[in-house]
Every structure is written in C-alpha cells, then in structure tokens.
Chain A
C-alpha cells in the first residue's frame, strides 16, 4: 500500500502527515488528528454522520480519501465553537432539543451550518432538503428543523464557519 504526504489544515491548525493511499478522510480526522467528534454511521455514504466542511462545502468525510483533501482546509465539529461559546447552530440544537443520543449530531450540525452558509434564511422545506443526506434515528427531525430555524434567526452559520468559508473562497 503506497503512502503519501499530505498537508491538511483542520480547524485552523496545519498538519503534515504520511497517510495510506486508501485511508478515508474520516479516519484521518479521527485517528491521525485525534478529533473524534466526527462519527461513522455507515459504509455506504448514506447516513451523513461523518459530514464536515472541506474548503467551504459540506462533504461526507467517509467518501473522501485523505489524499484527495491534500492542501485542503477542514472544519469539524470541534472547530465550530468560538472561545467556548457554541455556534448559533449548536445553540439552536440545544435550545430546540434537536438531539437525543447525539451520534448523528456533529454531522447534522455541520450540514445545517453548510446550508446556512448558502441560504441564510431557509424555509422548512429547504431545511428538510438541506439535511436530507443526514439520518437521525432518534429525533424524527421535527425539532432539528426547529433548531436550524432558530439558528437562522440567531446569527446563522456562525463566525468560525463563515471565516472558514471566506478563506476557502479566497483560495478558489
């Protein structure tokens, strides 16, 4: 198995690592970078538990090879809060009880954040479409929709995500 050197910035911290060609980004984040907030829920790219922002866009990190993210900038759930204060989306999930077991939650929060970066004021339908690729087995989604709407009304994607997106924009 061939190995490759990659330089990937995660949550603002640059890293240079040697990885196997077949390694998935989600495993790179969890194992190499020790950021275990990003979860794995399936092996078919159906559940969305592994969703992160890569260069300003939401991706399922179980479908991205680490080598493909070389030179990239990743934002994970650990990088969303600012100086201990949760982002509006995170706050919205707590305020509206948008999570129960919390396993789908990091991916769901990142998807919602990505959605708000693109559409700052989505209606319910747009929210449901925006998180369609993220499965939650606990909540039945209704309160997740409420959470995203709450976030839209209280600051949207938040400063960390907005800065991440702006940086990506600059690179393109």
Chain B
C-alpha cells in the first residue's frame, strides 16, 4: 500500500451528497414536529411599546406566540459582560431583523401567516447605522446602561509610533476600508430541538457542536450529558456558523414547553440580516519608510463596526487584525490600536479568515502605496522587507505570535516561475499607449495568516473550553477502523483527510475507515471547525490516537509472534518480524486477539481503542504569494480577471485535490470581496442587501479559472507538518485584485480605490483621473 497522505483521493463523503442522501438539518423528520417562525423588527432602532399577539394566537394551527415577557428567565446569549443579547428583543430593537416574537404552528406556512398577524407597536429612536453616526457628538448609546457606543478600545503596543514615524524619511497616511460582507453559506441557519424527559437533543447548522452543547447546558442549568447537540451535514459555514444564535435556545425552550419537537428554518432574507456579517473594519494607517522602501514604522488605528450586539467571537477579531498587521515584513515598530463600535446594524462575527484578511489587505495595500510613492517596483519593496527564511521561527513583537517555518521570498520566486512578469509589464505599457485597448493591471499579494487555531489560552478568550482537539480511533475486530473527531466539518472533507491519515498509520485500507463527527453523544469531546484547524489540530489528534492504537497493536503482534516489539514491522495491513517476512499476522487477527485476555500478556488493557488530544504548541502560519492580472474596460469600468495564480505554503498537504478546492473557494470569496460584495444599510438602518437579488454572489460567469501551486515548508508546530489552508485564499485574494486594479490605472495617477471595485466605481475613478491627467 502506498502512502495515502499526499494522495489526491476522491472524497468519501461525495456519493451521499451527490445522490441526495446526505442529511442536512431540515431533512430530519421527527413525528409531531411543529414549526417556529420569527416576528422580526422592521425598524433599526426603536422602543417596543406593545406586542399584540391575540389575532395570531387565534389562527388555525397556531400553538402559541411568545415575546420576551413570556419567556421570563430565558438567558441571554453570551457576550462581553454587560452586553449580552436577549433571545428576543426586550424593550428595544437594535437592528432590522432582530427577533421580537416567535410563533409556533403545525406547519411552516401557517406559522408564517400567524407571524404576519402579530402587531408590534414601536416608538422610533434615532438610528445610527454607521460608525460615524454611532460615534457622533451626542449619539444615544444603543445598549442600555452603557455610556457610549464605543464598547471596547485597546492599544496593543507600548508606543503609538509617533516618534518613529516623525523620524522616518517619508511618512504616508492611508485610509482603507474593509467593507462589510456576508458569509452566505448556501444552507441558511436551521435547527430542530426535541426536549424529552431524558434531556434535550438539538440538531443545528453549527461548526462547533460541543461548544454549543456546553453553552446550552449552562444556560438551561442542565448537565452537559443531558444535552445532545448534533451538527449533521452542514451546508457551508465560513465562520458565521461558529456563532451562537438565539434560535438554538428558543427552539429548545419551546420544545420543553410544548412537549413537541420544534423546528426553525431561516429564510434567505432572514439570513441576510440575522446571521453575523464579516469584516466591517476601517483602517487609518500611517507608515514611515526610507528612500529604499524599507518600512520603519506602522501605526494602524482600526475601527470595527460590531453591529447591534457585540458577538462574542466578533468582538475579538480586531485583536487578530492587530497581531497580523506586520504581514510578512520586518517592521521595527508596529503600533496597532482598535475600537469597536455598536451600530444599528446586523451583528458582526467571523467570516472566512476572521480578522486576518483585514490585516493582510491593509499591509499589502500599504506596501503597494510605498512602492508607488517612491517609484519602485512593488515586488522590490516586498523583497526588501521580507522576513527571511533563516529568521524562522520569527517572534513578532506580539507575545505568543511566532511565525513558524516559512519562506516568504521563496513563495514569490515560485509564483514568478508561473508568471512572466517582464512580459506582462511590456504588455501593460503597450496597452496604455493604445486608448482603444483595455487597461492591464498586475497585482500581488504576499501574505501570511494564522491557521491551526488553538492553543487553549487564546481560545479561552473566545469562550471555548480549550484550543485543543480530540480524536478517538478504534480498530474493530473485523479489521476495519472508526475515527471519532471533535472537529465538525461543513464541506472540508474531514472524512477523507482523516481516513488518509489513519490508513497510513494503521495500514488499514482507506475504504474500511469510517469517520464519526458532529454529534456530542457519540464523539467524546471537541472544539470545532474554524480557523483552519481541521487538519493541523483535528488531524494531529487523529494522528496521535492512531499512533497509540498502532503501538498497542504492535505489542499484541509481538506477543503473538513471540518477537521483540522493536522487531515488528507493519506493512500492507500485516505485522511481520523484521528479517522474517513470512512470519506474520494481519491486522484483523491482532484486532481479535485484542479481546482475548487469556492469550495476552497479564494485565493487558483489552481492545484497540484509543483517545488522544492535540493541543497545538502555537498557531501555524500559512503563507504564500498570489498574483492577479486584470483587464479594465475603459468605457464601462468593468474589471475582468484574466489570470489568477496562487502559490500557497500550507505546509504538508494531506490531499492535493481537496487542498485545491479549499484554495479555489477561498480565492473566489476574496475576489468577490474585491469586486462585487458589500453589505449596505441606508441611513435609517434599512438593509440595502437583504436578499440575493441585492447582495450579488458571484456566479460561474463572474469568476476566472485559478492556477495553483504549492511550496511546502512543513511546520514544526504539529506532528503532521500541516498549517491549514481554508482561509488562505480569502486572506490573499482581495489585495491581489485591488492592487491589480490600482496598478492598471496607476499611470493616470490613481493610487487607491475602495472595495468592491464595481464597474461604476472604477469608471468614476477612471473618469476623474483622465480629466485630471490630461
């Protein structure tokens, strides 16, 4: 059997999903299930004067209507102390879409009818749907009891870098916006709760079942054993399904009261206003540099719009942005600070990359601006500032933020093997000279991000028990193996990747390995899937558990073969004695023997069933170099991506086919942020992008082909050497695209443009520049 790790095997999970035999939450049928529908606020900021539920209560099929007052004692969802969000709005609504009441009826259509019949009387309050409005002089605090809308403010460095900036030969101020985006997993939020006397079972679209179980148990005062949380097949999450949503608690509470299973299925329109949004940061940057483009000092002031209620993960993201603000560069002084502001908009939480794409966009735009200012090639500025491979692991100025093994210049060199840079520059010059030709722009992104999330001290800050992951590997007596793992995938292919790891460790055929995940009743413990931790942390736990099983199996084999353990070899599912290959026993025989106490050494612990935890010694740091080549139509401003080339260093690649898929998906989201997507609110807080009609997701016509390649610098931070890569594409792509767009217009004096670079925006910039230029 050849090595499975590193092989492009097709996925085990696919046949079920491809034949309609997967199990998403809404596919689960429990007899007697009733349906919950929300009455949501249509105002962004208002006091609730009254909720009249009488008419709704009387409609056919309705089992009840509840407001906050009817659910006394139902706890709020966890957040920063003093900022906890009630499950249903208490006296005030903070954003359009905030739930005010719930209706339960025997059928979805009837429940929706009844929700329409609930009459809420509001007294409108001044709406602050932007950071500017929420921080204006005299702005009303949105959260009762707080002095202002600035809920958190922090300086993450000893200095504000003023002295270093003043001393630098050049100093440049840059304002950057990382616009609000929506995660839009194709499956919206769904949950089904069934409260029996034995306890509560809840099936829900979540990335973190164990964490959700812990939260729910605590909120209801139950033991963790009494709550079973199941995340079956989950249709995408992208970070947004890591948050705790009030519907989980509400369906549970109503199931308890009604003694029936209660299901909630979010509509897409609801999803667009109630699932956490991502990004939503403004950066006021000052950079000091010398004549050669060496970066000397960087000051970054981050303003985060955290929406109507601070999300417990969302509130922590500017810290990650701050930690990563230096990118892959050696900058002597970095001074990040941030403030988080509550506004009358949808709460902001994690979205693919969560805090790091914002940093990467910032520093990569800064590098390009420095290059433009000095008239130096942007690649040259990068090269002059890179942290060098010999300096790895590289301790940044932020405690605990240590970049692992990487080769930043090497990734760029590899990228340039795919891209004939000189030819592109020549073509660009030609195009500029010909007013009928579309403009050509070349953009780069040399990036580093965080993957393999843990360790525990960091994760505790986000409210998790720990940052480790757990796995159990059992060898069945028929020689097949089953893995239980605490990560809970939503498209990442853990079933396949982890089976590859175990196939190699135990020499068991890949086809005979099964994965169990996402169910707190069957999986021992877990943290979840986010922060590119699946393979680096979950996979490492699997590796360790499999190693324990292997060690134990070797002991048994040695006993059976009357040989020394150190002489036992395992290959092709068979144990043999070194030097005597015909003497051997196969894995299934060993598995059976594991249950025969009279044929084993005294005191042998029966069975081949081992659990292991992996606590990462630190985060890992995937990095890479991406290049985007764009064409801009001079008449319409439309940006066409002509080429997108990605070189990624995610350390050891377990399955190149799936790795490619992850990079594609991430890059697609990054391109979409650069060109298309933006969540908007009117001044009165009305969502401008509340459906998929208004919030344009890219279709197959909007996205290019991607070219991918890898540089493999294994990390020493985990036994697999894998750094994770789920978020790399989304982290790397926005600035590659925007740098290319700006580059295409650079000769006209254009130095910046805000995302998304829509045709209209590009056309305006182009018009203004042409007028000024000529």
Q: Write out the residue numbers on chain B whose beta carbons fall within 8 Å of the beta carbon of A42.
A: 268, 691-692
Contact A97 B187 (CB under 8 A): no
Closest to B655 in A: A97
Contact with A along B220-254 (1 / 0, CB 8 A): 00000000000001111010000000000000000
Output the least CB separation between B766 and chain A (Å). 27
Closest to A130 in B: B700
Output the least CB separation between A29 and chain B (Å). 10
Contact A105 B17 (CB under 8 A): yes
Complex Cα–Cα for A37 and B22 (A): 7
Contact A100 B665 (CB under 8 A): yes
Closest to B352 in A: A137
Query: Cβ of B658 < 8 Å from any Cβ of A?
Result: yes
User: Which of B75-122 touch A at CB < 8 Å?
Assistant: 108-109
* Contact A37:B20 (CB < 8 A) given known A97-B658, A101-B236: yes
Query: Cβ of B676 < 8 Å from any Cβ of A?
Result: no
Closest to A141 in B: B700
Contact A44 B268 (CB under 8 A): yes
Q: Write out the residue numbers on chain B whose beta carbons fall within 8 Å of the beta carbon of A100.
A: 236, 491-493, 661-662, 665
Q: Write out the residue numbers on chain B whose beta carbons fall within 8 Å of the beta carbon of A47.
A: 186, 268, 692
Contact A90 B18 (CB under 8 A): yes
Closest to A140 in B: B668
Q: Write out the residue numbers on chain A whose beta carbons fall within 8 Å of the beta carbon of B109.
A: 20, 22-23
Q: Write out the residue numbers on chain B whose beta carbons fall within 8 Å of the beta carbon of A46.
A: 691-693
Query: Cβ of A106 < 8 Å from any Cβ of B?
Result: yes
Q: Write out the residue numbers on chain B whose beta carbons fall within 8 Å of the beta carbon of A94.
A: 10-11, 14-15, 18
Q: Write out the residue numbers on chain A whose beta carbons fall within 8 Å of the beta carbon of B668.
A: 139-141
Contact A142 B491 (CB under 8 A): no
Contact with A along B479-519 (1 / 0, CB 8 A): 00000000000111100000000000000000000000000
Output the least CB separation between A61 and chain B (Å). 13
Contact B10 A144 (CB under 8 A): no
Query: Cβ of B188 < 8 Å from any Cβ of A?
Result: yes
Output the least CB separation between A97 and chain B (Å). 5
Closest to A103 in B: B235
> Which of B152-160, B404-412, B608-616, B701-709 has 4 or more CB atoms under 8 Å from chain A?
B701-709
Closest to A106 in B: B20
Contact of A99 among B17, B26, B265, B490 (CB under 8 A): B17
Contact B693 A44 (CB under 8 A): yes
Interface of A is mostly: loop
Query: Cβ of A28 < 8 Å from any Cβ of B?
Result: no
* Contact A143:B701 (CB < 8 A) given known A95-B10, A101-B186: no
Query: Cβ of B664 < 8 Å from any Cβ of A?
Result: yes
Contact of B186 among A49, A76, A124, A141 (CB under 8 A): A49
Contact A142 B699 (CB under 8 A): no
Contact of B660 among A22, A27, A97, A132 (CB under 8 A): A97
Closest to B694 in A: A44
User: Which of A40-81 touch B at CB < 8 Å?
Assistant: 40-44, 46-47, 49, 76-78, 80-81
User: Which of A94-114 touch B at CB < 8 Å?
Assistant: 94-95, 97, 99-106, 109
Query: Cβ of A122 < 8 Å from any Cβ of B?
Result: no
Output the least CB separation between A150 and chain B (Å). 12
User: Which of A108-159 touch B at CB < 8 Å?
Assistant: 109, 124, 127-129, 131-145
Complex Cα–Cα for A124 and B706 (A): 14
Output the least CB separation between A160 and chain B (Å). 11
Contact with A along B330-341 (1 / 0, CB 8 A): 000000000000
Query: Cβ of B129 < 8 Å from any Cβ of A?
Result: no
Contact B24 A97 (CB under 8 A): no
Contact A138 B269 (CB under 8 A): no
* Contact A101:B19 (CB < 8 A) given known A20-B109, A94-B10, A135-B697: no
Contact B490 A101 (CB under 8 A): yes
Output the least CB separation between A86 and chain B (Å). 6
Complex Cα–Cα for A103 and B185 (A): 9
* Contact A43:B491 (CB < 8 A) given known A97-B11, A140-B667: no
Closest to B697 in A: A135
Contact A36 B19 (CB under 8 A): no
Query: Cβ of A39 < 8 Å from any Cβ of B?
Result: yes
Contact A137 B185 (CB under 8 A): yes
Contact A86 B18 (CB under 8 A): yes
Q: Write out the residue numbers on chain B whose beta carbons fall within 8 Å of the beta carbon of A131.
A: 699-700
Contact with A along B453-496 (1 / 0, CB 8 A): 00000000000000000000000000000000000001111000
Q: Write out the residue numbers on chain A whose beta carbons fall within 8 Å of the beta carbon of B235.
A: 39, 41, 101-104
Contact B657 A97 (CB under 8 A): yes
Closest to B60 in A: A1
* Contact A37:B186 (CB < 8 A) given known A42-B692, A135-B697: no
Contact B24 A78 (CB under 8 A): no
Query: Cβ of A35 < 8 Å from any Cβ of B?
Result: yes
Contact with A along B246-280 (1 / 0, CB 8 A): 00000000000000000001011100000000000
Output the least CB separation between B734 and chain A (Å). 14
Complex Cα–Cα for A43 and B692 (A): 8
Contact B186 A41 (CB under 8 A): yes
Q: Write out the residue numbers on chain A whose beta carbons fall within 8 Å of the beta carbon of B492.
A: 100
Query: Cβ of B13 < 8 Å from any Cβ of A?
Result: yes
Q: Write out the residue numbers on chain B whose beta carbons fall within 8 Å of the beta carbon of A77.
A: 18-20
Output the least CB separation between A115 and chain B (Å). 11
Closest to A148 in B: B700
* Contact A142:B703 (CB < 8 A) given known A41-B188, A97-B660, A137-B185: yes
Contact A102 B17 (CB under 8 A): yes
Q: Write out the residue numbers on chain A whose beta carbons fall within 8 Å of the beta carbon of B493.
A: 100
Query: Cβ of B367 < 8 Å from any Cβ of A?
Result: no
Contact B19 A43 (CB under 8 A): no
Q: Write out the residue numbers on chain A whose beta carbons fall within 8 Å of the beta carbon of B27.
A: 30, 36
Contact of A142 among B664, B669, B697 (CB under 8 A): B664
Contact A139 B661 (CB under 8 A): yes
Contact A128 B20 (CB under 8 A): no
User: Which of B644-670 touch A at CB < 8 Å?
Assistant: 657-658, 660-662, 664-669
Contact B184 A36 (CB under 8 A): no
Q: Write out the residue numbers on chain B whose beta carbons fall within 8 Å of the beta carbon of A136.
A: 186
Contact with A along B174-202 (1 / 0, CB 8 A): 00000000001111100000000000000
Query: Cβ of B598 < 8 Å from any Cβ of A?
Result: no
Closest to B188 in A: A41
Output the least CB separation between B459 and chain A (Å). 24
Closest to B28 in A: A36
Complex Cα–Cα for A39 and B235 (A): 10
Contact A143 B699 (CB under 8 A): no
Contact B10 A132 (CB under 8 A): no
Contact of B701 among A27, A30, A86, A129 (CB under 8 A): A129
Complex Cα–Cα for A80 and B666 (A): 30
User: Which of B130-164 touch A at CB < 8 Å?
Assistant: none
Q: Write out the residue numbers on chain B whose beta carbons fall within 8 Å of the beta carbon of A81.
A: 19
Contact B20 A142 (CB under 8 A): no
Query: Cβ of B771 < 8 Å from any Cβ of A?
Result: no
Closest 6 CB pairs of A and B: A37-B20, A103-B235, A102-B17, A140-B668, A101-B491, A100-B491
* 12 more CB-based (< 8 A) A-B contacts, given A94-B11, A99-B14, A99-B18: A41-B268, A86-B19, A94-B14, A101-B187, A102-B13, A102-B235, A131-B699, A131-B700, A135-B699, A140-B664, A140-B665, A141-B699
A–B complex contacts, Cβ < 8 Å, 14 sampled: A27-B108, A30-B26, A36-B27, A44-B269, A46-B692, A94-B15, A99-B14, A102-B22, A103-B235, A131-B699, A137-B665, A137-B669, A140-B668, A141-B668
